[in-house]
Structure 1
Amino acid sequence: MNLSRIDLNLLVYLDVLLREKNVTRASEQLGITQPALSNGLRRLRDLFNDPLLVRTSEGMTPTERALELQPQVRNILASVEQAVLPVSAFNVADSSRIFRVMASDYAESTLLTQLLFRLRDEAPNVTLDILTPSDVTFQDLEQGKIDMALNRFDRLPQSFHQATVWRDNFSCLMSKDNPAAQHFDMDAFLAAPHIWVSKTGMGVGRGMSQRDSQRLGWVDEALAEFGHERQIRVFTRHYQVAALLARHQDLIVTLPSQMARLYVEDTHLVERKPPFMIIPIELKLAWSPLLQHDPGHIWLRRRIVDIGQEIIANSQV
């Protein structure tokens, strides 16, 4: 195939069509007429010898070939966009840039608080706009509407870039007056009522039930390996609320150890190691290929990862 005969605009059309899965919305976003976009889709089908998008009862559905092409096309366009952007250095001390970061309650409490303290000295005019996972979608991240996401992800779209900030174990927090604190074994764990905290994903969340065992997450999956289940009496999406509730005499919360470390000086609480093995979790940083080469973005990514490694190193001392 002669590459000089390929219209780059067609790849732009394909990128938006695969994201929107709707010709009307895609044409509006591209600023062209629907007939022009339909003609572009016809040319794309000829180019790739595949229907790419097929009308179904659920709308325009991508073919298997289209799904294979999506991350490749996004990376190609990101490289082109980067090539034509003017190169400028990022002056940390003078920048007044606003970085929008999606972060779980866990990441915000353990990592971003430390980052904010550093920014006061290193980048006093930089602003962080911290959003919750329910505020944004993967599409917002892909389009660069937010700069990055800090969370524990079961999966990420192939086009995203990512870095592991740390791996964390689990700890149990409970009142110092909790009878289980004196002899904390599996029997004591199972006899106590528990607080469950969501492994928050992106997008609008749903309510929980004790019967939703497949959605309960790491702690309950690990417990199920031993043929047990715990008595969950409170479902919450916030670790700090869970820690406050754990001050009650009978309640126990099992949470990542870095979160538990925030309460090491709380005289009402004690920390105990879970009486069974739980697979460690990974806190990940994810961002769009559109921002991969942005100087300011590179600086902030590196700062977050560096601070994360410092926190882990200090917790092992």
Structure 2
Amino acid sequence: MRLEQIDLNLLLTFDALMRTRSVTLAGERLGLTQSATSNALQRLRDAFGDPLFVRTPAGMQPTALAARLGPDIGDLIDRMRRVLESSRTFDAATSSHTFRILVSDIAQVTLVPDFMRLLRAQAPNVDIVNLSLPLRSAKEALAAGELDLAVGFIPELGPDYHRLSLDQERWTCLVSAAHATIGNTFTQDQYLAAAHLSYRPPASIHASLDKLLEAQLDGRQVRRRVALSVPYFSGLAPIVARTDLVLTAPSALTRAMTEMAPVRIVPLPFELPPIDLNMQWHDQTHRDPANIWFRRVFAASYAERTLAPEQRQVLPHD
């Protein structure tokens, strides 16, 4: 007999009869009427060319052939159930899943430490790969299932993508602690006349800063002098500390950099719209149990950043 010659639902009937030794109880187990179960048994007999189960005072007893087939078919049914149930659940404590994320280097400095602490406590065998991708490639990777989550100051990706806002940041300026001409505040003219350090990572909103400034200044042309433009976070704090350059960046970044070098934060002399720190994922993974768990842990890790160290704990993920 070939596999394609048998209705696999009949194997469920076979397994139920092996376990219950009763047509009535097998039907109840499968949600079938007694007549439907009897019909399925007859189809099994026709397919195998054997009675399979015979009626006795002790119930429906398996024939020699059924007794030989029983353990293997039962094991097959159990494995199929485990496969189907695992597709609806995610056991973080035992999983060895690898998640692929896009996390900006700002988020890597400000979010990833607490995230990894929670993740290591809940899922010690889960691994993380942080990919460096431009925005268009990240969008395509999310849609292709090659990227699980994108986190940072990321613009809206489109209608097939889900978005959760984690927080809103403000634009601030960072200058050397020993800057010769800029004090605790500066004017718009001072800002526009200064030499600037422009930080432009691959997938972020930093490239839109000049457009935001133009809009704020009633559309007149704003041309900051960008003396240095860099795509990476590493080295930003020492560059600011040792030069007269002005860095304009989200407050999360400038706060982190004050702990890295002798620099200080100066308010931006313009009122710009707040920046949305968010995470985004594609609709194809929206209902995936593993992705749901992963998103919850990341969001929980961000919420926990505001707690004092003694208040922090492993937050539940369901």
* TM-score interval, normalised by the smaller of the two chains: 0.5 to 0.7
Mark the CA change 1:105 to 1:91 in structure 2 (over 3 Å): closer, same or farther.
same
Q: Offset of 1:86 from its aligned partner?
A: 5.3
The CA RMSD measured in Å over matched residues stands at: 2.6
Residue 273 in structure 1 maps to residue 264 in structure 2: no
Tell me which amino acid in the other structure corresponds to 2:116. Answer: L
Deviation readout 1:157-181 (Å, 9 max, x if unpaired): 2111221121111221111111244
Tell me which amino acid in the other structure corresponds to 1:248. Answer: R
**When the two structures are superposed, what TM-score results if normalisation uses the length of structure 2?**
0.62
Mark the CA change 1:267 to 1:216 in structure 2 (over 3 Å): closer, same or farther.
closer
Deviation readout 1:129-163 (Å, 9 max, x if unpaired): 00012394422211211111113333312111221
Tell me which amino acid in the other structure corresponds to 1:99. Answer: F
Tell me which amino acid in the other structure corresponds to 1:303. Answer: V
Q: Structure 2: which 5+ residue stretches go unaligned? A: 1-83, 309-318
Residue 169 in structure 1 maps to residue 170 in structure 2: yes
Residue 217 in structure 1 maps to residue 190 in structure 2: no
Map 1:6-85 to 2 at 5 A.
none
2:133 counterpart residue number: 133
Mark the CA change 1:143 to 1:190 in structure 2 (over 3 Å): closer, same or farther.
same
Deviation readout 1:16-74 (Å, 9 max, x if unpaired): xxxxxxxxxxxxxxxxxxxxxxxxxxxxxxxxxxxxxxxxxxxxxxxxxxxxxxxxxxx
SS at match of 2:202: coil
Q: Distance between the aligned counterparts of 1:296 and 1:303, measured in 2?
A: 11
Residue 261 in structure 1 maps to residue 261 in structure 2: no
Q: Decide which structure has the larger Cα Rg and report it.
A: 2
Q: Distance between the aligned counterparts of 1:171 and 1:294, measured in 2?
A: 38
Mark the CA change 1:266 to 1:86 in structure 2 (over 3 Å): closer, same or farther.
closer
Mark the CA change 1:157 to 1:224 in structure 2 (over 3 Å): closer, same or farther.
closer
Q: Contact between 1:115 and 1:304, CA under 8 Å: does it hold in 2?
A: yes
Deviation readout 1:269-311 (Å, 9 max, x if unpaired): 1112112112111122111222112222111101212222333
Tell me which amino acid in the other structure corresponds to 1:188. Answer: Q
Q: Distance between the aligned counterparts of 2:162 and 2:248, measured in 1?
A: 30
Q: Contact between 1:162 and 1:284, CA under 8 Å: does it hold in 2?
A: yes
Mark the CA change 1:262 to 1:242 in structure 2 (over 3 Å): closer, same or farther.
same
1:149 counterpart residue number: 150
2:97 counterpart residue number: 97
Map 1:217-236 to 2 at 5 A.
217-218=208-209, 221-222=212-213, 225-226=216-217, 227=220, 228-236=222-230
Q: Distance between the aligned counterparts of 2:92 and 2:126, measured in 1?
A: 8
Q: Offset of 1:108 from its aligned partner?
A: 2.1
**When the two structures are superposed, what TM-score results if normalisation uses the length of structure 1?**
0.62
1:116 counterpart residue number: 116
Q: Contact between 1:165 and 1:283, CA under 8 Å: does it hold in 2?
A: yes
Q: Structure 1: which 5+ residue stretches go unaligned? A: 1-83, 203-214
SS at match of 1:299: helix
Q: Contact between 1:247 and 1:268, CA under 8 Å: does it hold in 2?
A: yes
Residue 302 in structure 1 maps to residue 293 in structure 2: no
Q: Contact between 2:115 and 2:301, CA under 8 Å: does it hold in 1?
A: yes
1:193 counterpart residue number: 195
- The alignment-based identity, stated in percent, is 25
Mark the CA change 1:223 to 1:180 in structure 2 (over 3 Å): closer, same or farther.
farther
SS at match of 1:271: strand
